[in-house]
A = this chain, B = another copy of it.
Amino acid sequence: MDSTGPSDPTGPATGNANHWVLTFSCADKPGIVHAVSGAIVAARGNITESQQFASTDTGRFFMRLQVESAADRAEFERALAPVVERFGMTHNVDNVGRPLRTLVLASTAAHCLNDLLFRQRAGQLPVTIPLVLSNHGALRDLAGFYGVPFESRPVTDPESKAAFEARILEAVEEHDIELVVLARYMQILSPGLCEKLAGRAINIHHSFLPGFKGANPYRQAHARGVKLIGATAHFVTSDLDEGPIIEQNVVRVDHTRSVPELVAIGQDEESRTLTQAVKWFAEDRVLLDGARTIIFR
């Protein structure tokens, strides 16, 4: 009967064998909450967390619920089915806390990969990482320390790039991957691959006020004397660095910072921003409303 919050999915003993997370969206109209909560009552469920949002931009209604229930998945889905049908819902049911099968792509920078692996092992990030794929061998030892398989293959020309992308898709298939994380993977994905991974690939990008186009943005930011630098985690789309934003952070800098210092500061923001975005995604807290994300924190 008690909610115990997202980090404690088991909660106190309630006699309820299962803890479900239900997310859905549909066209907004009256009666949705009543219908859904009725289905949950029918499945002998207790709502332990609930968030909703009605988008004025798209006219769609979004909801995320956590439900403790003695019902198994089949029974829970059966109870929901008429409501899903009636409102034309796109919906998803999962176990609260189930680790998400995640493929990580990396190049040579260690900071994002280190943060993901450390937190995964510390129990702070509900993912399981069956493979790290890299276009470089530099991070093999780091993956090895955390007991995560690591595979590297150089990308030097269109042919090796195509081979690498084919290997990504193969690994996605092989490990039944649910999320691809670009942890400072320094290759641009082809439009075809972006499309295949749409809505399940997250990238991290440095961010500045104002934005800087072109090479070496840290050098440009230094030249312009910016006072804030940060990072943006976003879904991968074929529009480079323009996908729906999941999380952003900034930190204050001043005129004394050299370009290498700005890079180091920016990397800290990248790590924590990417890890946060992955955590929310793995907890089914990120829903898409056109080009916007709904984050049910």
Which residues from chain A sit less than 8 Å from chain B, CB to CB? 1-8, 12, 28-34, 37-38, 40-41, 44-57, 59, 110-111, 114, 118, 122, 124, 145, 207-211, 222-228, 230, 232, 241-242, 244-250, 254-258, 260-261, 264, 268, 272, 289-295, 297
| Min CB–CB distance A75 → chain B (angstroms) | 16
| 17 A-B contacts (beta carbon < 8 Å) | A2-B54, A5-B257, A7-B264, A8-B260, A30-B41, A30-B45, A32-B47, A48-B54, A49-B52, A56-B258, A110-B118, A207-B209, A210-B242, A223-B290, A224-B291, A226-B248, A255-B295
Chain B, Cβ-Cβ closest to A141? B145
The answer on a CB contact under 8 Å between A3 and B53 is yes
| Min CB–CB distance A210 → chain B (angstroms) | 4
The answer on a CB contact under 8 Å between B3 and A54 is yes
The answer on a CB contact under 8 Å between A53 and B255 is yes
The answer on a CB contact under 8 Å between B254 and A3 is no
- Residues from chain B with Cβ under 8 Å of A54 in the complex: 1-3, 48
The answer on a CB contact under 8 Å between A209 and B250 is yes
Q: Which 10 residue pairs of A and B lie closest in terms of their CB atoms, listed nearest first? A: A225-B292, A34-B37, A3-B54, A5-B258, A7-B261, A211-B211, A227-B248, A145-B145, A33-B37, A210-B211
- Residues from chain B with Cβ under 8 Å of A294 in the complex: 255
| Min CB–CB distance A6 → chain B (angstroms) | 7
The answer on a CB contact under 8 Å between A255 and B293 is yes
Chain B, Cβ-Cβ closest to A250? B250
The answer on a CB contact under 8 Å between B224 and A245 is yes
> A1-B54, A3-B53, A209-B209 are known contacts; what are 10 more A-B pairs with Cβ within 8 Å?
A1-B29, A2-B56, A7-B264, A12-B56, A31-B37, A111-B122, A118-B118, A224-B244, A227-B247, A255-B295
